[in-house]
Structure 1
């Protein structure tokens, strides 16, 4: 804390009385506790000096075991994302080449292209609703998923939600990077026929070729410098790469349908499933598609906090989710259908189609197509991976070690860790990873459900922000020793009920229990009902009666709200004069043996007193 200002004792006492009238006893203690956490002990030992040097750069801003600049609410001047930014954020996973392969999973269930499109439309509407509901802590209070977890699980219990997402992010980052390496190979193959037919010198025990290893390495190297790019500045390149990938999708579709003379034989296939089995396959199709983007749904507050206003965020999310989220998988199914007639094999991925063109003839036309299509999909894959997996994981790791990890350091650490996952095993062996990817959403869906319930129902869309950064037992998110046990029960039960179905999906030789299998097929519907019901029952019998629940801070401590937002929330700006008064208050609190509950002032009186202080 800074030194006391040079002003008279009378003025200090007057200011202290005014702030004491505005703030309750609990609020004063929370502020003082948060300031105590930010105070640093003198670095005397060599070890202490080393730790001081390892702290994240913070430019004089406060850091503590709960806070660094990357974890603070986003200030008004940094909220620059509009409609196209959110369209691109959701367009990245949908315009990306993995979405083109979605149809292979759906058609393998026995549905045809037309029914797969119906399932996609329904699922994208559900995803839009889930995302809008889950984005509002970021839109209203400008906090990310990492801080939001403290509201659900408590200050220390939040590590559970953070670790869940870190694990998923590392695996998905590695998987997406491997696919990105394949698109890099498309670029390199356009320049060199020798590279295209590069001899593999790796032993047979390693399930990847030397060519694939080079592509993967190059893709990882390209991504690493982006760890230092601020997430809020990634919107413009995301918009550009979405446009590039979208044009590549349309161009390949037009070319294949034109030379084939129609949509191909898969378009006319009939469904032979019974009515009951067909219904469950529809539901399972919805679950598979939802699971692929479930990380973006649960992450939404990390990026909705950059929104200029809520409606540009909502409309951009809905458009980016529904339009490319329906068109691109549809295009992928037509790719496979036309290729089946043209080449005798259904190709789903662009690199497979380009490979076939090179096999037919390695000419200038095929090389140009390989370069531009590869560049488009590789660029889209880079920013998709960073936005959906890289930056969110960096934010989460920053939430675990705020003093020593910020978003850049956390993202870089995750990039290095992704090599340990060995993603080439997922795609080049009989690994059941691709079947297991449909389970990712079962870990995040109960967290999303409880977050929505907690924010809208129990907290009435009102959150005290200072409590997120304090270890005071009087804080609204302290619960029991920093842990809220109530959400753990519905989350763990919901996940446990999905485990048998996950086991059946990766072990085709087992005889599944129909009920458990169906629960897994439809967990996108069943988990929200199950987790919400259990959470409501738990909170009914064991309610949290904290007096600061469903309240706002009386003062904008983090300078993150504009005048309009403060007016709507009845909040005062936090000025330097008030900082000085809190310092004086600290001395007063230390000299008092007991606290008395403060009275309250009318809005007009509060503004009058604060105006007198600031003058």
Structure 2
């Protein structure tokens, strides 16, 4: 087939709007060519890219839809990705926060099971843009907030990533100290040489520094490649948790006094504490729920992703938290106080009897929790922040550079103050979902109801006013107002958690206790009303690209979606670029106007 014949088929499929968007993309991609002066030197800082993967102010290789050969995550990869937050120090110790609500162990576990099921369902609903169209969180934000409005959702996620990365790194330092303590009794008993005004011990600083150093080389590893070590560390930590619980329960002769405590709350207060317990549990993983598309785009299939994330959330989340509460209860009876973190338990063992048996246990538990903490921090905070920053400055930041950035800036957060001072950070952690829940809910409504699971990929990378995600001056005010409404109603509860001396408003406090349920009603309901009252009218609403412009779909997907394949020998962009100048198209709407069907075009080109 001649080029002119190919062009004829393509032009009969592609609308004038798509022609304009493609020309705008090419203009953005060529804007760095023939630069002079300081701009020429600035261009040397651009992210590495090839001619097949151009860059622009909206695009770089890490933002493009994932190609079929890179979709290698199966059931165990997603089980591990969602198992990591549960096979971690924070989950092991979460019982301390739930029991502080005056619930007992049985009721805390009940709340956790409900929360895990809700998290699994909520995450699956947020997975599908990544599974079907192989796009990440950044492009999701352009879909729901607009090309420029997307910076709001991205910045929210970047802020949480920086704080949580520092928090998780500090916990990782405590884990790595278990390893060092098993090597040397001198390190175990290392004296603190800092003045009392410094809120940390010398040993804690050493562990934090070493953990940060261990993490840094992984910035150069692609996120898709950490699935195997994540699986390994999940099972290592599982064996450690089983060993901890088995030893403490057998030594103690039972679960200990905390297990038998009775609840003294009234039925009304108990109901709100159940809601709050569910909310606290959800809050810890809420950023990962919102940005699930960042990793669901690596999926081999829908089923492997759905079952992996659901079981990885429900099973480890329930077991590890239960084990943590049983261990703390047994420690209460054995040692006179409940130890809520593995490093506290190991420290007690080593100080009681620095034997080869205790040291071996400390080493294996330390290496297991250090590994899970390492890959948890990388996948859910480090790489995620890199993906988000790539959406802010695509020409100069990719996942590697963004991950390095969050690793370096996490020192500024001073995570040691979260644990060793009167800082209210740990209380405020339960509010993180206030910022991410509206985003996740609006994303679900936009994808399933407004767009009916059909989106165009071409329009994600254009500043053309004819783009499907341009809305009003690049901003979707409907979603922004809905987001701010949900956040605004959750802020008073955050203030009450940070400033406990303030007399809370009962209604606002109860809203905060159950914001997992109430924010979706507020932000989701408001957005749906806006959509009904002020609908978006766009010719490409509820449509898909007619051509696989990014070569990201398999043949089976192309057949199912009725899409023309990407032509490698004569790239579609090049064909259009060579012939669109000076020509006028006979069509003005979107689609082929009955001239050549997509299937017919695909058959002819093949």
Q: Bin the TM-score by the shorter chain.
A: over 0.9
1:75-90 equivalences in 2 (<5 Å):
75-90=67-82
Pick from 169, 174, 189 the counterpart of residue 177 of structure 1. 169
1:510 Cα shift? 2.3
5+ residue gaps in structure 2? none
1:578 Cα shift? 5.3
Indicate the residue corresponding to 1:490 in structure 2.
482
Pick from 519, 535, 538 the counterpart of residue 527 of structure 2. 535
1:598-613 equivalences in 2 (<5 Å):
600=592, 606-613=598-605
Indicate the residue corresponding to 1:48 in structure 2.
39
Pick from 350, 362, 368 the counterpart of residue 376 of structure 1. 368
1:418 to 1:193, Cα distance in 2 relative to 1, 3 A: same
Q: C-alpha separation between the residues in 1 aligned to 2:85 and 2:579? A: 55
Q: C-alpha separation between the residues in 2 aligned to 1:612 and 1:595? A: 21
Task: Work out whether residues 113 and 266 of structure 1, in 8 Å CA contact, stay in contact via their aligned partners in 2.
Answer: yes
Q: C-alpha separation between the residues in 2 aligned to 1:410 and 1:605? A: 43
1:414-463 residue CA offsets vs partner (Å, 9 max, x unmatched): 10010000000000001000000000001000000000000000001001
Task: Work out whether residues 25 and 595 of structure 1, in 8 Å CA contact, stay in contact via their aligned partners in 2.
Answer: no
1:568 aligns with 2:573: no
Q: C-alpha separation between the residues in 2 aligned to 1:606 and 1:490? A: 38
Indicate the residue corresponding to 1:273 in structure 2.
265
1:348-375 residue CA offsets vs partner (Å, 9 max, x unmatched): 1011111111221222122111111111
Q: C-alpha separation between the residues in 2 aligned to 1:114 and 1:59? A: 57
1:205 Cα shift? 1.5
Indicate the residue corresponding to 2:396 in structure 1.
404
Q: C-alpha separation between the residues in 1 aligned to 2:209 and 2:601? A: 62
5+ residue gaps in structure 1? 1-6
Indicate the residue corresponding to 2:432 in structure 1.
440
Indicate the larger mover: 571-580 or 229-238: 571-580
Q: C-alpha separation between the residues in 2 aligned to 1:613 and 1:525? A: 51
Indicate the residue corresponding to 2:18 in structure 1.
27
| SS of 1:572 mapped into structure 2 | coil
Q: C-alpha separation between the residues in 2 aligned to 1:381 and 1:166? A: 19
Indicate the residue corresponding to 1:335 in structure 2.
327
1:567 to 1:378, Cα distance in 2 relative to 1, 3 A: same
Indicate the larger mover: 76-85 or 203-212: 203-212
Q: C-alpha separation between the residues in 2 aligned to 1:606 and 1:453? A: 29
1:20 Cα shift? 1.4
Q: C-alpha separation between the residues in 2 aligned to 1:324 and 1:12? A: 56
Pick from 512, 528, 542 the counterpart of residue 504 of structure 2. 512
1:498 Cα shift? 1.1
Pick from 448, 459, 462 the counterpart of residue 470 of structure 1. 462
Pick from 123, 132, 140 the counterpart of residue 131 of structure 1. 123
Indicate the residue corresponding to 2:542 in structure 1.
550
Task: Work out whether residues 280 and 430 of structure 2, in 8 Å CA contact, stay in contact via their aligned partners in 1.
Answer: yes
Q: C-alpha separation between the residues in 2 aligned to 1:203 and 1:565? A: 63
TM-score by length of 1: 0.95
Indicate the residue corresponding to 2:213 in structure 1.
221
| SS of 2:95 mapped into structure 1 | helix
1:608 to 1:530, Cα distance in 2 relative to 1, 3 A: closer
Task: Work out whether residues 259 and 329 of structure 2, in 8 Å CA contact, stay in contact via their aligned partners in 1.
Answer: yes
Task: Work out whether residues 81 and 308 of structure 1, in 8 Å CA contact, stay in contact via their aligned partners in 2.
Answer: yes
Q: C-alpha separation between the residues in 2 aligned to 1:302 and 1:479? A: 24
1:606 Cα shift? 4.3
Indicate the residue corresponding to 1:64 in structure 2.
56
Q: C-alpha separation between the residues in 1 aligned to 2:57 and 2:238? A: 43
1:49 Cα shift? 3.0
Indicate the residue corresponding to 2:354 in structure 1.
362
Q: C-alpha separation between the residues in 2 aligned to 1:516 and 1:189? A: 46
1:210-359 equivalences in 2 (<5 Å):
210-359=202-351
1:44 Cα shift? 4.9
| SS of 1:74 mapped into structure 2 | coil
1:526 aligns with 2:525: no
1:97 Cα shift? 1.6
Indicate the residue corresponding to 1:116 in structure 2.
108
| SS of 1:139 mapped into structure 2 | helix
1:398 to 1:605, Cα distance in 2 relative to 1, 3 A: closer
Indicate the residue corresponding to 1:152 in structure 2.
144
1:215 to 1:332, Cα distance in 2 relative to 1, 3 A: same
1:17 aligns with 2:8: yes
| SS of 1:234 mapped into structure 2 | helix
1:421 aligns with 2:424: no
1:42 to 1:267, Cα distance in 2 relative to 1, 3 A: closer
Q: C-alpha separation between the residues in 2 aligned to 1:140 and 1:602? A: 27
Task: Work out whether residues 38 and 62 of structure 1, in 8 Å CA contact, stay in contact via their aligned partners in 2.
Answer: yes
Q: C-alpha separation between the residues in 1 aligned to 2:598 and 2:497? A: 62
1:610 Cα shift? 4.8
Task: Work out whether residues 577 and 613 of structure 1, in 8 Å CA contact, stay in contact via their aligned partners in 2.
Answer: no
| SS of 2:194 mapped into structure 1 | coil
1:465 to 1:497, Cα distance in 2 relative to 1, 3 A: same
| SS of 1:443 mapped into structure 2 | helix
Task: Work out whether residues 442 and 498 of structure 1, in 8 Å CA contact, stay in contact via their aligned partners in 2.
Answer: yes
1:199 to 1:530, Cα distance in 2 relative to 1, 3 A: same
1:608 Cα shift? 4.3
Task: Work out whether residues 59 and 394 of structure 2, in 8 Å CA contact, stay in contact via their aligned partners in 1.
Answer: yes
Task: Work out whether residues 43 and 52 of structure 1, in 8 Å CA contact, stay in contact via their aligned partners in 2.
Answer: no
1:331-386 residue CA offsets vs partner (Å, 9 max, x unmatched): 01001100000000010101111111122122212211111111110011000000
1:501 Cα shift? 1.4
Indicate the larger mover: 77-86 or 33-42: 33-42
Instruction: Provide the aligned C-alpha RMSD in A.
Output: 1.7
Indicate the larger mover: 313-322 or 48-57: 48-57
Q: C-alpha separation between the residues in 2 aligned to 1:216 and 1:41? A: 41
Task: Work out whether residues 394 and 406 of structure 1, in 8 Å CA contact, stay in contact via their aligned partners in 2.
Answer: yes
Q: C-alpha separation between the residues in 2 aligned to 1:610 and 1:244? A: 49
Task: Work out whether residues 12 and 595 of structure 2, in 8 Å CA contact, stay in contact via their aligned partners in 1.
Answer: no
